[in-house]
Amino acid sequence: MADIAIRVENISKQYTLGVRSHTSLRDLVSDHLRMGFCRPTRANGRAPASETTIWALKDVSFEVQRGEFLSIVGANGSGKSTLLKVLSRITEPTEGRAEIHGTVGSLLEVGTGFVPELSGRENIYLNGAILGMKKAAIDARFDEIVAFAEIDKFIDTPVKRYSSGMYVRLAFAVAAHLEPEILIVDEVLSVGDAAFQKKCIGKMEDVTKSGRTILFVSHNMAAVTTLSTSAILLHRGQIIYRGSPLEVVQAYMDKVPMALARVERNLAPSSDAPFTITAVRTMDDEDKPAAVFRRSGGVVVEIEGLVHERQTVGGEYLIAVDVKTAYDMMLFRTHNIEYRECAGIPRDRGAFILRCVLPPNLFPAGTYRIGIHTAVAGKRDLEYQYPVLEFDLVQDQLLCDLFTGIAGLLTPRCEWRLTYADASQPSASLSSAAGDRDRIR
């Protein structure tokens, strides 16, 4: 028992769609008054159709040892964030129990843990008090927290006036520096810029080395494989695999049916446009629908559309694909006729399919969003839809894992050329492809 930090036994969490939980006395009173004027109807004695129940978690059981860095992996809607909320005591489980042996510091969605009306300084002391720390202990860490969060000029400003980036920086600094025995971090960590993410990753490594326990949810498979000591895979609210980080990432790609991921989006465009987009899907380099891809494989964005009015010379129809990070940072835009060899849209009326291939080994592992922009060249914009789809990239090899995810927004594989000082030895061009590893060694 002394070595167990967290024990989860048959945790289940059920939600009722269409029914809002009361989070404050104000909500309770306002809902009660509203119900006095509008009483819900029941047909044949049954609950309204909107009151549909779903199980966000179902019979989840596992243990976490002290000092373990456990990553929780799964597609959107698999129950990852719900599990962290249960363990952080933000929400109660419907069934089962969880034993937490130690103080908990949580960094979940923006807005959790701080009182908006209080200043950054006041929230630091409030969170320290909640963790059971004395004022002298908080004083000793106060300057380090402020310096880490880089908000010294705004420390006495109410946090409701902070940007999301400032808020997250302070929230992580507080959670990590007040030394809780268990640190719970959700994907919200990625809201920060690249430099701050690097600081956070370094801090989490320090926390683990100090013997404290970390639970980490992320779509960044490179961070999972680099930082974690173990991982679990959630699917439809249940654990379907537990093992080493690399094993779990592989299981994520192999075991979770891609048909259940959101790989296609049917669009409802405006009716007066000369051409419209009707569907967008993501596919792998074998033309199979997918939402999770290896970095070394290409991502195909397939676009279906209809031409309603015949194109004219000088008024070509344009389709642009935007690729952004999960937090809406623009990476690049490509469109269908930017080069002569690119595919134009048929001039005559009828259906068409365009395929845009995003090059492999261009992005670090993580989650990305696609936007679709349509226009008539030189005349007018038609429509911009974002986000249309999301896809995940995962690391598929160990080479350079230590740098992946914190080295930049783009991580292309570049050619490396070796020249020997001895002229008798031939020069060699070395790529970083898997087949060249033996030559690199």
Alpha carbons 164 and 410: distance in angstroms, whole number: 24
Q: Tell me what pLDDT residue 20 has.
A: 55
What averages of pLDDT result for each successive group of 10 residues across the chain (441 residues)?
86 79 47 47 43 87 93 86 88 92 76 80 88 85 90 91 83 81 75 67 79 84 80 92 88 63 67 87 86 83 91 85 85 83 78 91 83 88 89 64 54 82 60 42 36
Q: Tell me what pLDDT residue 26 has.
A: 43
pLDDT tens-place string over residues 7-44: 999 999 998 876 555 444 444 444 554 445 444 444 44
Q: Tell me what pLDDT residue 355 has.
A: 92
Relative to beta strand 380-394, strand 366-376 is antiparallel
pLDDT tens-place string over residues 84-102: 889 988 889 999 999 999 8
